[in-house]
Chains A and B, each alone.
Chain A
Amino acid sequence: MICISFSDEYVRYGQLVKNGEEYIIEVVNKFPLSTPFSPENVARPELAGSLEKAFLDIRADLMKPDDYAAITLPSVWFDISTETMDTDITEDDLEEALNWKIAKRLGEVMDQKFVQYYPLPDKSGSKRSFLAVSYFKELGKLFLRASQAADFNIHIMDINLFSAALALEHLEDIGSKEKWAVWLVNEPVHDMLVIEAGTFSQLCRFEFPDMENYKILHKSSASDLGEKIVANINGIRTFELEQFSAVDRIYYYSSTVDSEFFNMLLTYDIENFNTIDTFANQKPVRLFEDDGNGIGAMCQFIDLLGLMFRKIPKENR
């Protein structure tokens, strides 16, 4: 299984194989992308070429041939929202009702998009909640072409924060009742996923426009929890606060490990605010260490591990 994580400027990948009862991470590596993987470049042929080259480079770097691929992409490429439905809607009508709601949200581009709904556990009992995720089909085509050029078959497509959360949940043994968040430090725009009672609560995109303020750019629901956490982060950043109170804990990681802001965060000594060494428990046979081998460098691969955990049973993690 080749796990591949795309960020704005880099592609990271790792290979997981099973040998007998043993799960081995053969390689973890990183390449720069020749064209930034960002939505404003979607129509540029250079982006398609860049992705194709990335897959070919990965193929060339593999010691062991493999074609089963799982990819994880930045959340900026997806429209994510939480939709609620009355409990009296029948199962047969449920999908149609969800489609109707999402069509209202997306408008005329609904037909251009691929949409999925994931049931979320009930909180109140009076409503049923669903996580709605959509992306332009063109994005899928882009990856299909690029991966086929290198003879990869994409079987799993995830969002990087969700993959990271999955890895953290197991590495940190986070309790099922805890409220926590994972923050992708990615200047200038940051993304954060909030998890409550073991499941998705909110996705929040924000930025710090200056030294004192924050700005919420997107929330997947009307809940103010994400904004409270961002306000906490801002309070820590401006020294107004000394600890997080909005959630039990916050984990952060970055795809741009040379970011000054990220490196400043690494020096903060706050009890419930941490990053994580992805490979503290299981070292890959060949590991990329050009950015260093400390926790600040290793955390950039956390979403790769999340993809791998999809195939590794709990007892082997």
Chain B
Amino acid sequence: MIRLNMTNQPGLQVVDEAEIFDLEGLILKKSAEETASGEPESEGTKQAPDESIKVPDIEDIPDMPLEPSLPKESDDQGIDEDLFKLAEANLDLIEQAEEEETGSKAKVKKAPEAPVKDKKRPKKFPLLRYGIIVGGFLVLLFLFWLYSNGKLTRSKVNEVTRDVAETVTEKATQTAERIPDATRQLTSEVKDVTEKVSSEVSTSRERVATRLSRSAAGTYQYGQSDLSDNVIQVVQRGQAKLSLVTDVLAQFPADARILYLRLKDDKLSFILYVRSHQVAEQIRGYFTGQSRFLSPEVFFTENTGKYPENPVEIMAIVRFRVKGSDDRRGYKYLTDRQLSQYIWQAAVESGARMNPLKISSRDVSSVRSAEIVGNGKIVDIIALLQELAIQRHNLEVALVSLKSDAAVSVSNGILDYHLSSVIYPGNM
């Protein structure tokens, strides 16, 4: 790595200081009094070697860019007054130079958005467009002819406008009289079409239902699973993690503020603000009192005073154990579309907001990652996690992240959630 030394000469640096190891500054000098008196070294300097190296006085260092003589009082005043102006001018110029260099000023970057495609509109009715242009041109010529012949006066224009208005009013009255008949006719036609479509849909539903029931009756037995034992085990671990998070969230007092909570692998970490050390101890007790949690790796409490009503900050890292269940019945393989619908439905029922499910790849034969992201009130998120925790499909929630700005209490605030998941193929 490059080694800067801004006490060297200005300009191009040719000496690679990186390889120079000198002892200057490392071997202590004896104090002047000691040298003069020849007294033994004091307790504090017993270990200092006898040899000393002369460190040049700053006045004598020729390479030192810092000015060796102190300026006069009046100079200082002038320098100080000008310095702000110089700094501001410098800043402007630097920004200008950077702008020229990078082509743009510092800019706020948002999450990448899908590029808006510049759709090329097909040119419809080219002849009609040309006709309109030519017609417009002829009208202009005609108006010019009228004007040049004195026929386009204010009174003529008023007269023509009045005629046009009367004609339009008359036509409008006639049309209005015909509308009820037209509406009645249209309504009856729409009704016919709706009834026809409705009856066709009902028939189709009956057919699909019949087909599904036949298929189910012929293929599946109650409780049979589509997934292999290995996949079921990892899905169960994901279920257990979700249950664990919901349990922990339920332990947090309603008036506490949560900054974040994160569960990954076998580790749960969070920062929480609570009203007292007593409450913090209760939370610690929750973790120490259950066998599924190991003794907290970190459980740090501190009075921060950042939030007057929640002055105690808890920073915790707790390891835990989750285990699968012997109940392996009913684990079904769902397609991406079905999974997406299922998860979306869980969000709708819980009341939490959710973005569309993001799946990393279309290759359904491989193990893929999926991201479930959204936000909501803590009760809604608990409901969502509980719903996902009981799902028996080919989806494992591997990581849970919850985050808020801790501006308001757990019960009133909005939490962002992010569930990193894994989708397993049906053939594993």
- List residues of A whose CB falls within 8 A of some B CB: 1, 16-20, 23-24, 39, 42-43, 45, 63-68, 70, 79, 81, 94-95, 98-99, 104-109, 112-120, 130-131, 133, 135-138, 140-141, 143-145, 147-148, 153-159, 162, 165-166, 169, 195, 198-200, 209, 211-219, 221-222, 227, 231, 238-240, 242, 260, 263-264, 267-269, 310-313
Contact = CB atoms under 8 A, between A and B. Distances in A.
B36 interface: no
B196 interface: no
B110 interface: yes
Contacts of A162: 1-4
Nearest to B418: A239
A313 B23 CA distance: 10
Interface of A is mostly: mixed
Interface in B290-335: 298, 306, 315, 317
27 contacts: A17-B26, A42-B87, A68-B25, A114-B6, A114-B10, A116-B11, A117-B13, A119-B12, A136-B83, A136-B90, A137-B66, A144-B58, A154-B7, A156-B5, A158-B5, A158-B6, A195-B1, A211-B416, A213-B108, A214-B108, A215-B107, A215-B109, A239-B416, A263-B271, A264-B259, A268-B262, A313-B21
B29 interface: yes
Interface string B248-262: 000000000001101
B79 interface: yes
Nearest to B23: A18
Contacts of A64: 28, 44-45, 48
Contacts of A39: 87
A39 B98 CA distance: 20
B88 to A, nearest CB: 10
B48 A117 contact: no
Interface string B30-72: 0100000000000011011100000111100100011110110
Contacts of A16: 26
Contacts of A24: 47
Interface stretch (B134-142, B154-162, B172-180, B399-407): B399-407
Given A68-B24, A118-B13, A214-B109, A140 B66 contact: yes
A137 B271 contact: no
Interface size class of B (residues with CB under 8 A): 35 or more
A209 B52 CA distance: 53
Contacts of A268: 262
Given A106-B90, A269-B267, A213 B110 contact: yes
Given A64-B44, A212-B111, A313-B21, A141 B405 contact: no
A141 B8 contact: no
Most buried by A among B2, B45, B416: B2
A118 B2 contact: yes
B310 to A, nearest CB: 13
Interface of B: 1-14, 17, 21-29, 31, 44-45, 47-49, 55-58, 61, 65-68, 70-71, 79-81, 83-84, 86-87, 89-90, 93-94, 96-98, 101-103, 106-111, 259-260, 262, 264-265, 267, 269, 271, 298, 306, 315, 317, 371, 373, 399, 401, 403, 405, 416, 418, 420
B79 A23 contact: no
B31 A65 contact: yes
Contacts of B259: 260, 264
A138 B67 CA distance: 9
A197 B315 CA distance: 37
B265 A269 contact: yes
Contacts of B5: 156-158
Contacts of A215: 106-109
B66 A116 contact: no
Most buried by A among B7, B49, B70, B102: B7
B1 A154 contact: no
A107 B89 contact: yes
